Amino acid sequence: MAARKAPAKHPPRKPTAKRAAPAKAAATSAKPSAPPTALEGNGKPLGSVLVVGAGIAGIQSSLDLAESGYKVYLVEKNPSIGGVMTMLDKTFPTNDCSMCIVSPKLVEAARHTNIELLSYSEVDKVEGQAGHFRIQVRKKARSVDLAKCTGCGACAAACPVDQRIRVPEPVPVQDDETVRKTDAILDRYPPQRASLIMVLQDANAAFNFLPEASLQRIGERLGLSFAEVYGTASFYKAFSLEPRGEHLVQVCVGTACHVRGAQRILEEFERLLSVKSGMTTEDRKFTLETVNCLGACALGPIVVVDGEYNGSMNLAKVSRLVDSYAKKEAV
């Protein structure tokens, strides 16, 4: 992408490239030497300031500087400004609503004639010294015409690509019982990557889902990162990452069952249990799932409850089946 050069045309004394984002240290250097005494000539401010990081601190600094007459370049690596504060509900210590504080400032920063926003950009290089910096900023490809974009968000909602794998932070989970059981499973297989799927299968069967502590333990023992274990577990349909209900209802939606009306059977289960396929009822009694084909097509439509096959299902049989399993609880 075209490298954008921060202007160095304003000689001779420029204010320091001021670092504003408090948490984001390390990256660029800020020379503490010359203080921003840029009043010169007929008392007008001269030169420009670059602020790195458009969090609340960066925005406030930019606004103050802009108000005192400096041209401000506000660089932010994310596509939008606002930083962490926009994600918070309340702020310490006054318990004030954080959005109420920050949002007027966001608008102001965007509208201020003295502030040029460089969002979705990063500082690549800082050269020179206090008063005369030469800064290279890399603007990332946004592929959106900012002059026309109104920020309505409709494109983000319409985008069909949602392939993000949300990997939770591997916070070590203390669960000795799970680890002990997982170890027992791991002991049965050679400690190598090829064992992963088999181990996950056994763990899934033992716990009726894959608890996080178990996944972490598997990663440790097989020498894999948590992300690799999680990525594999979330790819295959046979694994559940959430606890399942006491009874597992699997409706076969193979083609043979489909043409024999499996869809209506599934809908009836959804209606009776008031959950959608893939969900667990609130009382944790039933989990409703679909399965692609059980290979017993002569008996379609088929429903398997806790491993027990029920063939030639119709709507009347569905309610009887649900009743019989719901009653089992009472006994």
| Contact footprint for other proteins (CB under 8 A) | 160-161, 163, 192-198, 200-201, 231-232, 235-239, 253-261, 264, 267-268, 271, 291-300, 309, 311, 314-316
Q: How far apart are CA 143 and CA 120, in angstroms?
A: 11
CB of 182 to other proteins, least distance (A): 16
By the 8 A CB rule, do 91 and 68 touch? no
Residue closer to other proteins, measured from CB, 175 or 228: 228
Residue closer to other proteins, measured from CB, 162 or 177: 162
CB of 285 to other proteins, least distance (A): 20
CB of 55 to other proteins, least distance (A): 34
CB of 189 to other proteins, least distance (A): 10
Q: How far is CA 48 from CA 62, 72, 112, 158, 244, in A?
A: 11, 6, 14, 40, 60
Residue 114 has a CB neighbour count (10 Å cut-off) of 17
Residue closer to other proteins, measured from CB, 75 or 273: 273
Q: Using the 8-state DSSP alphabet, how is residue 42 labeled?
A: T
Q: Beta 71-76 vs 115-119: how paired, if at all?
A: parallel
CB of 173 to other proteins, least distance (A): 23
CB of 325 to other proteins, least distance (A): 18
CA 54 distance to own-chain centroid: 21
Residue closer to other proteins, measured from CB, 136 or 277: 277
Q: Beta 96-97 vs 115-119: how paired, if at all?
A: unpaired
Element (H, E) at 9: none
Residue closer to other proteins, measured from CB, 144 or 259: 259
- Name the 3-class secondary structure at 126: strand
CA 157 distance to own-chain centroid: 15
Residue closer to other proteins, measured from CB, 152 or 316: 316
CB of 200 to other proteins, least distance (A): 7
Residue closer to other proteins, measured from CB, 45 or 300: 300
Residue closer to other proteins, measured from CB, 18 or 258: 258
Reduced 3-state DSSP string for 180-226: HHHHHHHCCCCCCHHHHHHHHHHHHHHHCCCCHHHHHHHHHHHCCCH
CB of 171 to other proteins, least distance (A): 23
Residue 165 has a CB neighbour count (10 Å cut-off) of 9
By the 8 A CB rule, do 54 and 119 touch? yes
